[in-house]
Structure 1
Amino acid sequence: MPRAKRWLIFIAIPGILIMLALGAWQVQRLMWKNETNAFRQARAQSEAIALPASVEDIPAMLFRPVWLEGRFQHDKEMFLAARSYRSNPGYHVITPFERSDGSVLLVNRGWIPVAKKDPATRTEGQIEGVVRIEGLLNSSVEPGWMTPENLPQEKFWYWLDMPSLSAEAGIEPRDYLIDAGPAANPGGFPIGGQTKTELRNSHVQYVVTWFALAATLGVITFLMFRGARRRAAQPTEQPNGQPNGEAKP
C-alpha cells in the first residue's frame, strides 16, 4: 500500500471514532432535552398555587402555574422588543404589579402588535383596580452573542435582564417574573400565554449528521483499503512483459 494512502487510513480511523463519540453524545443530549421538555410541559399544566411572598428556590418553581392578586402599575410598563405572534412583529408588555402586601413584582402581560405600543391604542386592556391573575413563573435568560444591547432609557429590552428591569421600575430586584396566562384581556390586548416552556431541540439532526459522516468516512476508508489490498495482490510485470516470479522460456 502506498505510504500516502496508509497515512490517510491512519488519520481516518480516529476521525471515525471521534464522529461516533460525538453522535453518541448528541443521543444523550437528545434524551435529556426530551425528558426536560416533558417535565416542563407536565409542570406547566399542573394546578395553579398561590404565589409565595418570597421565592427562594426558583428552579423548583420555574414554569409552575401560580396566581396572585393586586394592581397593575400601567404608567411604568416596559417592552420586550422583537417578539412575534403568529409571524406578526410586536412586543411583550412588562408591567409592575403591586400585591396586597405592598410588594411589587414584574408581570409579562403578553404580546401586542407594533401598532399597539402606545397605551392609548389599547385603553380597554389597561385594567384598573384589584385583579387576580394566573400565569407561569419565569426567570432571567442569558442573551445570545447576537442579541442586541438592552435600551433601558427607551424602556426597550431585547432579553430578560431582571436587575435592569427592576431598577427601571423602581422596585426590589427579583430574579423572576410572572408570565400572564392565556386568559383574554379586555379589548384583546395584550395576548397572554406567551411562555415558551420547551427547550430548542435540534439534536436529532446532529445525531443523524455525525453518524452519517462516520458511516461515509468508514465506507471510503474501507474501499481505499480494499483497493490497495487488491492492487498489492496483483503480479507486476517485468520490463520484458513477463510477470514477476515467472522464468523466461
Structure 2
Amino acid sequence: MKIRWLPALLILLVVAVTVRLGFWQRDRAHQKETLQAHITQFEHAPAQSVGATPLVLNEIEFHRVRALGQFVSGQVVYLDNRPYQDQPGFYVVMPFQLKQGGYVLVNRGWLPRNMNARETIAPYTTPSGEIEIEGIARADASRAFELGQGGSAAHQRIRQNLDVHAYANETGLPLQPFVLQQTSDTNDGLVRDWPAPNTGVERNYGYMFQWWGMALAAVAFGLYAARRAARKSAAPDA
C-alpha cells in the first residue's frame, strides 16, 4: 500500500498538538486543585495584620487579613451589576485608612439597586472613627463583563469594575495591592454572603477530555482514510 505522506503528517501533527494541549489542561487542573487546597487551608489560618508595609499580592491573596483604621467614605465606589439571589445590586467598595499608615480598598458588601432610579443608593451606614475589620485578601472586588472601559471611567461613583492600581493612581492613595473582602459584621446594613472562590478546575478537565477526544477522532479518521485508500488501490481496474 502506498502511503500518502502529506495527509499522514498532517494527521500526526493534529494528534501531537491536541494530545499536548490535553496534558496542558490537565496540568492546569492540578495547579488549581493545589490552589483550592491552599485556599481551604488559609480559611482556617490566623488572620494576618495589614499595615503600612506593602504586601505582595501573590503571597497574601486568599489569606485572612485584619486591618485597624477608619473608612474614607468620601471616596466610595459602587460596582454595578453584582446580583445576589437573582436581585441586581452593587458592591460597596471604600478605601480604609490604616492606623499604621497607608490604605487598603475594602469590599464592604452588597447593596440592592433601586430599579427605578439607578443613581439612588439604598441607605446603609459607615462606622465612624477607628475600628477593626477582618476579611479575605482578593486580587480585586470581582470583575463583571463590560465593553471597553465606559463603565469603569475614573471619577465615576458607579462603575462596572475597579482596578486597584488604577484607582491608586486616580486618588493618589498609597493602596495595598489587594482588596479586603470584608467578613466581619459592622451592623451597616450590607450583605456579606460571599460566593466561595471558584478556581474552575472542572472546566480544565472538560477541556482536557475535549482535546484528547479530538486526538482520538483524528486517529480514527486517519485509519479510516488509510483503509479506504488501500481498498481503492486493491480494487481491479474495470
Same fold (TM over 0.5): yes
The list of structure 1 runs, each at least 4 consecutive aligned residues, that deviate by more than 6 angstroms after superposition, is: 141-145
Contact map agreement 1:96 1:169 (CA 8 A) in 2: no
Aligned twin of 2:158 = 156
Secondary structure of 2:215's aligned partner: helix
How many Å apart are 1:55 and its aligned residue?
A: 3.1
Distance 1:188 1:95 in 2: 15
1:1-249 aligned at under 5 Å gives the runs 7-101=6-100, 103-115=102-114, 118=120, 121-123=122-124, 125-140=125-140, 148-149=148-149, 150-181=152-183, 183-186=184-187, 188-189=189-190, 191-192=191-192, 194=194, 197-201=197-201, 202-237=203-238
Contact map agreement 2:140 2:163 (CA 8 A) in 1: yes
- Structure 2 gap segments, 5+ residues each: none
How many Å apart are 1:17 and its aligned residue?
A: 1.8
Distance 1:198 1:235 in 2: 62
Q: Which amino acid aligns with 1:9?
A: A
Distance 1:144 1:82 in 2: 7
Distance 1:215 1:65 in 2: 45
How many Å apart are 1:234 and its aligned residue?
A: 4.0
Contact map agreement 2:105 2:175 (CA 8 A) in 1: no
Contact map agreement 1:40 1:198 (CA 8 A) in 2: no
Distance 2:227 2:15 in 1: 17
Distance 1:233 1:79 in 2: 74
Distance 2:16 2:169 in 1: 51
CA-atom RMSD in angstroms: 3.1
TM-score, length of structure 1 as denominator length: 0.77
Distance 1:103 1:223 in 2: 67
How many Å apart are 1:197 and its aligned residue?
A: 3.4
Q: Which amino acid aligns with 2:98?
A: R
Contact map agreement 2:52 2:103 (CA 8 A) in 1: no
Distance 1:35 1:86 in 2: 30
Secondary structure of 2:197's aligned partner: coil
Moved more, 201-210 or 147-156: 147-156
Work out which of the two has the higher radius of gyration on C-alpha atoms and give 1 or 2: 1
Contact map agreement 2:144 2:161 (CA 8 A) in 1: no
